[in-house]
Chain A
């Protein structure tokens, strides 16, 4: 309140900062932190965005409550949608046909990560249904990190290509495994047919939605031309629609958008590749995605579940390494590159995980113990994952120096 009526035009002080202002501050702060991370610390920019989010989150300024996060939700969904699309776009099914050992390696790395995590949790006495869910989540590599680390380093080579391909595939496996398990668990009492129908519906309907989207975008692009602006607008529009429809018809958004990216590429008979979705506009979404991921980092259970989370991370990582190392030679890479590939597959994403959990119509239960282990493991790999993947690609000599330097 102004002190005197004469000064009534002066504003109240301090100005109250709402969610929107904090959101703007997050962008500014993340931009600075991203540059600090990349230029001073030689870390990926994502690490800076995450740190900015962490600073504005519950362990710092506590700028966002649940309502604030809910308001950011649409940005986060679009960002994830764009990145999943890009990942799907890089998935080349022809490669899997030409090099079946790659597919074997993919199934093995995801399968062994699942097996190792499940085994470890079961050995600790965790209930089977919780252990299965946690192990299924452990199969997936963070799609956002895989795509961004490639773009930031302008990386090219076998570790990069395989990281992208295996990430796309292990996300599909994770969604399908979890849905199948939940369906079986939930509908068991209605008989096997009902138990089978749910995952079948989820996979087929996600795919069908993606087909419709890809065909529509292709013809719209033929009409509107394939300039970068048109491409970006059309992709943003299509992705928002697909996200909304996926939620409305109870199918998996990650599955749908991955398939959309892959189909958009395979259905287009010409190689006038769909324009790259990340110009300056895309950068906003990336900052928001990693910033909000930083806000969401949950270290609450660190004291109690820290050790077990390390076990979770270790088992998952060993599984991934075993899978890619076992198939390295027949699939055409050396053991050193395979080891780096296994390391590059470590990032996890809390937001992608949340999406997987919430979009299963039947919410899976994790139980408080597994929930705590998973939260800590995800928080650790969310922070460390981009850095590990970044240095794995550099060690594989697949990073290209920026042309300006």
Chain B
């Protein structure tokens, strides 16, 4: 089956997918609950989509297509409330966070759908270890060439997205020292990493056809890239974010990505080059490991900077575009987070300092998930 034609969609339209954790109330460990939860939600009207994921301890919420912050946050809150209300009925807790801090991966069960069983057979323990929870952001593009331009231009900012959403410092019961341990689980997959450096959609189709004739991939879903094109939606999909602990942060980061894309499309600062990828894995590792305090190497100027300063600079550069998109709140949220409370990984570590118990951290995390973060005055 050849690659779908790239179906144009509204330029800079925005969609968010969030993978959520399902916990047992009594000990806050991951539990089987997706089938029960989805069966209950099926009977209720709700916007967007609520879907199963690979294991029974995970559920995914998808927003519909948005143009800016206000409608996005309203819908994400509504979706969140529908899932939380259903979970309350079933004595389950729902929360964000990129990974569960003390789950035992061997206890996970695969959700009963053919594709998930196929993946589980192929990847063995990796599939169960892949019980990690990410945020995916879709940005609409008018065509395949534009999608590839955005995809490669955004690669410079991938560390921003990682550091802003990192929320998985604990894994298998220990502090990993990483802000995002989740991405380490993703890197284990053979087709993870970045898309090949091609800027024309027909070149990309050639690449895909070659990979297909080698028998390595069947569809775009088999690539676990940090950013990948989604031709049937007409979008590029940024996949490096941990699921944040609140929908507000999820919406803010999505709108930041959207504003960056507008900046790249309108100002066309410079064409992407293959050499932009030279510091890519170094920068990505730094962002996973050190979060906002990471060292960031600029692929163009070779300047070293802290990631925090680089993000603050970009927030200033893109503020005009955010205003055009009516997403100033998102930028204000991120600016204040960078100056004060940092990212969610810092919150998780502080919660552990206070309670000395990962069970309690998860209980706090599920409380945090269900409540609104106040929207700051513009």
Q: Across the interface, which residues of A come within 8 angstroms of B88, CB to CB?
A: 98-99
Q: Across the interface, which residues of A come within 8 angstroms of B40, CB to CB?
A: 332-333
Q: Across the interface, which residues of B come within 8 angstroms of A334, CB to CB?
A: 39
| B333 to A: closest C-beta gap in Å | 30
A398→B107 CA distance, assembly (Å): 12
Given A270-B357, A271-B360, CB of A99 within 8 Å of CB of B89? yes
Q: Which of B24, B25, B35, B36 has the most CB of A within 10 A?
A: B36
Of all chain B residues, which has the CB nearest A164? B26
Q: How many A-B residue pairs have CB under 8 A?
A: 67
Q: Across the interface, which residues of B come within 8 angstroms of A95, CB to CB?
A: 25, 91
Q: Does A361 contact B (CB under 8 A)?
A: no
Interface, chain A (partner B; CB < 8 A): 89-90, 92, 94-95, 98-99, 154, 156-158, 161, 265, 270-273, 331-334, 337, 397-398, 400-401, 403
Contact of A156 among B32, B357, B360, B363 (CB under 8 A): B32
Interface, chain B (partner A; CB < 8 A): 24-28, 31-33, 35-36, 39-40, 86, 88-91, 104, 106-107, 109, 112, 355, 357, 359-360, 363
Beta-carbon contact of A273 and B32 below 8 Å: no
With A92-B91, A158-B90 known, 4 other A-B pairs at CB within 8 A are A265-B26, A273-B359, A333-B90, A400-B109
Contact of A332 among B86, B109, B112, B355 (CB under 8 A): B86
Q: Across the interface, which residues of B come within 8 angstroms of A271, CB to CB?
A: 27-28, 357, 359-360, 363
| A161 to B: closest C-beta gap in Å | 6
Given A99-B91, A156-B31, A157-B32, CB of A270 within 8 Å of CB of B107? no
Of all chain A residues, which has the CB nearest B362? A271
| A146 to B: closest C-beta gap in Å | 15
| A186 to B: closest C-beta gap in Å | 39
| B280 to A: closest C-beta gap in Å | 37
| B329 to A: closest C-beta gap in Å | 32
Beta-carbon contact of B90 and A270 below 8 Å: no
Q: Across the interface, which residues of A come within 8 angstroms of B106, CB to CB?
A: 403
A337→B363 CA distance, assembly (Å): 28
Q: Across the interface, which residues of B come within 8 angstroms of A333, CB to CB?
A: 36, 39-40, 90
Beta-carbon contact of B36 and A158 below 8 Å: yes
Beta-carbon contact of B89 and A332 below 8 Å: yes
Those 6 A-B pairs whose CB atoms lie nearest each other, nearest first: A332-B89, A403-B106, A156-B32, A95-B91, A98-B88, A271-B359
Beta-carbon contact of B39 and A90 below 8 Å: no
A95→B26 CA distance, assembly (Å): 10
A337→B39 CA distance, assembly (Å): 11
Of all chain A residues, which has the CB nearest B87? A98
Beta-carbon contact of B36 and A90 below 8 Å: no
A87→B112 CA distance, assembly (Å): 30
Contact of B89 among A331, A398, A401 (CB under 8 A): A331
Beta-carbon contact of A98 and B89 below 8 Å: yes
A98→B90 CA distance, assembly (Å): 9
Beta-carbon contact of A156 and B86 below 8 Å: no
Query: Could you list 16 A-B pairs, sorted by A, with CB under 8 Å?
Result: A92-B26, A98-B88, A98-B91, A99-B89, A99-B90, A157-B33, A158-B36, A272-B357, A273-B26, A273-B27, A333-B40, A337-B36, A397-B35, A401-B109, A403-B106, A403-B107
